[in-house]
């Protein structure tokens, strides 16, 4: 939301999260939430209506002509995410990973060159190395930020792709500076950002110069570890191209999942605020433990990404990594996690529950330190979270 919008009643971000995508259902009475409509076939009143709808569809308009087009509730979710991200158009996918894949599959052609940040989500890296590369797309990985990108851009460069912050190590890149580097070139270079950490509303990369923002709706938007979904929001430079490609490829989500995700979105701000506060309490405690080298979390004043986070983000979530001192081995880190009773051991995050996961440090891109544990702090009482982590430290010391 722009500063102007902020002045208008009802337009503050947390208020919009409650009211966006509610639409107008018409009639004298209506439900609070858009209805779930389960259908494959959509029936037309007559053939002339069908002709008109087909023409609108061909012109790129979002119309309800068949189940694969979505439905009222998925349209509502798309509109809500479009508003939160500040884009022109949003498409929904059956998982965050399918959303990650979409801009790469829809835009890139053989001979194109792509610059991927070193700290992207690991399955996105596998997509680059095991799927795009064998199909003639030149995938190059860069360390650092925009200054490094500037030295590596070529005439064939079509896209820069990054997670901001980076996956697991949470390094932050300067989006306006990156946009300045890319926009100054003859050829259109699109900036694609995986904005899962910053969603909903903590980070709005499209307002800072990015062209495409990907969100794993699975995480804080759904918020309850009970569904998989991804979104791609784009600005006017590429929204229509991405929308048409999603239609060509038959990408659609179920109305039940769209409903559940939209329901999660309504309370996302409350959960995020509480989980971020719980995470901060836990981090303050962790930092005093002798085995802890540092906490990787851009909202921490001592983090290398803090200044950019402070400038460009509107808040933080409850996902961070704990880096141990060199005396703690990767096997010790596994013992630490195995000693936890309340934390679940599992991938994904953004649900209401606390999770822990270790990563082999030598296989972790962009990380040159020792053993590391990624923690997601849930809605439990932070005193219980800390008591559980104490069990981990006790295991290290025994
Ligand atoms: C979880 C995640 C994804 C993938 O989402 P899924 O719905 O689990 O496929 C993509 N990017 C990031 C940064 C994620 O954390």
> In this structure, which residue's CA is closest to atom 3 in ligand 1?
96
Residue 50 lies in a domain: no
234 and 248 belong to one structural domain: yes
Vertex 60: Cα angle to 54 and 66 (nearest 5): 45
Q: Which two tokens stand for residue 56?
A: 């609108």
H or E element, residue 258: helix 255-286
Q: Which of 250, 266, 282 is the last residue of a domain?
A: 266
Return the sign of the alpha-carbon dihedral for residues 131, 158, 210, 176. Answer: positive
What's the CA gap between 329 and 210, in Å, rounded?
39
Q: Which atom of ligand 1 is nearest to the CA of 348?
A: 1
83 and 154 belong to one structural domain: yes
Chain centre distance of CA 222: 12
113 and 77 belong to one structural domain: yes
Residue 220 lies in a domain: yes
pLDDT in tens, 247-299: 999 999 999 999 999 999 999 999 999 999 999 999 999 999 999 999 999 99
Q: Which of 247, 266, 285 is the last residue of a domain?
A: 266
Q: Which of 266, 291, 322 is the last residue of a domain?
A: 266
| Ligand 1 within 6 A of CB of 238 | no
Q: Answer left, alpha or beta for residue 201, where phi above 0 means left and psi between -120 and 50 means alpha.
A: left
261 and 272 belong to one structural domain: no
Scan for tokens 């048409």, then name that residue.
244
| Ligand 1 within 6 A of CB of 171 | no
DSSP 35: P
Spacing, Cα 289 to ligand 1 middle (Å):
31
Residue-range definition of the domain harbouring residue 279 = 268-397
Spacing, Cα 31 to ligand 1 middle (Å):
32
Number of domains in the chain: 2
Provide the whole-model pTM: 0.96
Residue 9 lies in a domain: no
212 and 166 belong to one structural domain: yes
pLDDT tens for the chain, residues 1 to 398 = 444 445 567 889 899 899 898 866 667 888 899 999 999 999 999 999 999 999 999 999 999 999 999 999 999 999 999 999 999 999 999 999 999 999 999 999 999 999 999 999 999 999 999 999 999 999 999 999 999 999 999 999 999 999 999 999 999 999 999 999 998 776 789 999 999 999 999 999 999 999 999 999 999 999 999 999 999 999 999 999 999 999 999 999 999 999 999 999 999 999 999 999 999 999 999 999 999 999 999 999 999 999 999 999 999 999 999 999 999 999 999 999 999 999 999 999 999 999 999 998 888 988 989 999 999 999 999 999 999 999 999 999 99
* Site to substitute for ligand 1 among 230, 318, 319, most atoms within 8 A of C-beta: 230
| Ligand 1 within 6 A of CB of 350 | no
219 and 339 belong to one structural domain: no
Scan for tokens 């001192």, then name that residue.
325
Q: Return the percentage of the chain with pLDDT > 90, whole number.
A: 88
Q: Which residues contact 291 (CB under 8 A, 6 or more apart)?
A: 324, 325, 327, 328, 393, 396
Residue 51 lies in a domain: no
101 and 132 belong to one structural domain: yes
pLDDT in tens, 186-236: 678 999 999 999 999 999 999 999 999 999 999 999 999 999 999 999 999
192 and 309 belong to one structural domain: no
Q: How far is CA 315 from CA 83, 263, 278, 293, 389, in A?
A: 18, 21, 14, 24, 25
Q: Which residues contact 333 (CB under 8 A, 6 or more apart)?
A: 324, 358, 371, 372, 373
């Amino acid at each position: 939301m722009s500063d102007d919008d902020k002045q208008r009643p009802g337009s503050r971000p947390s208020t919009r999260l409650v009211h966006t995508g509610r639409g107008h259902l018409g009639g004298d009475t209506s439900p609070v939430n858009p209805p779930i409509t389960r259908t494959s076939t959509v029936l037309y009143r007559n053939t002339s209506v069908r002709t008109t709808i087909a023409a609108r569809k061909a012109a790129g308009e979002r119309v309800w002509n068949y189940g694969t087009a979505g439905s009222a509730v998925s349209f509502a979710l798309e509109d809500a995410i479009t508003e939160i991200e500040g884009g022109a158009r949003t498409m929904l996918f059956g998982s965050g990973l399918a959303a990650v894949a979409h801009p790469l599959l829809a835009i890139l052609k053989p001979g194109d060159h792509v610059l991927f940040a070193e700290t992207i989500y690991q399955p996105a890296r596998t997509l680059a190395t095991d799927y795009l590369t064998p199909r003639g797309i030149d995938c190059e990985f860069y360390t650092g930020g925009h200054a490094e990108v500037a030295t590596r851009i070529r005439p064939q460069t079509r896209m820069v792709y990054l997670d901001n912050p980076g996956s697991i190590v949470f390094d932050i890149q300067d989006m306006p500076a990156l946009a300045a580097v890319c926009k100054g070139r003859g050829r259109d270079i699109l900036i694609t950002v995986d904005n899962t950490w910053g969603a909903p509303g903590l980070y709005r990369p499209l307002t800072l110069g990015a062209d495409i923002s990907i969100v794993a709706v699975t995480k804080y938007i759904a918020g309850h570890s009970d569904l998989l979904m991804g979104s791609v929001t784009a600005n006017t430079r590429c929204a229509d191209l991405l929308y048409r490609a999603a239609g060509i490829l038959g990408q659609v989500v179920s109305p039940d999942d769209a409903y559940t995700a939209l329901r999660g979105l309504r309370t996302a701000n409350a959960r995020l605020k509480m989980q971020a506060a719980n995470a901060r309490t836990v981090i303050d405690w962790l930092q005093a433990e002798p085995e802890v080298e540092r906490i990787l979390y851009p909202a921490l004043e001592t983090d290398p990404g803090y200044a950019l986070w402070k400038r460009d983000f509107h808040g933080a979530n409850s996902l961070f990594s704990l880096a141990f001192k060199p005396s703690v081995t990767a096997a010790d880190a596994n013992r630490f996690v195995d000693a936890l009773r309340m934390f679940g051991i599992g991938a994904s995050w953004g649900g209401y529950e606390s999770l822990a996961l270790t990563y082999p440090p030598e296989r972790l891109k962009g990380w040159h330190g020792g053993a590391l544990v990624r923690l997601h702090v849930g809605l439990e009482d932070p005193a219980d979270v800390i008591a559980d982590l104490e069990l981990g430290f006790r295991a290290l010391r025994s």
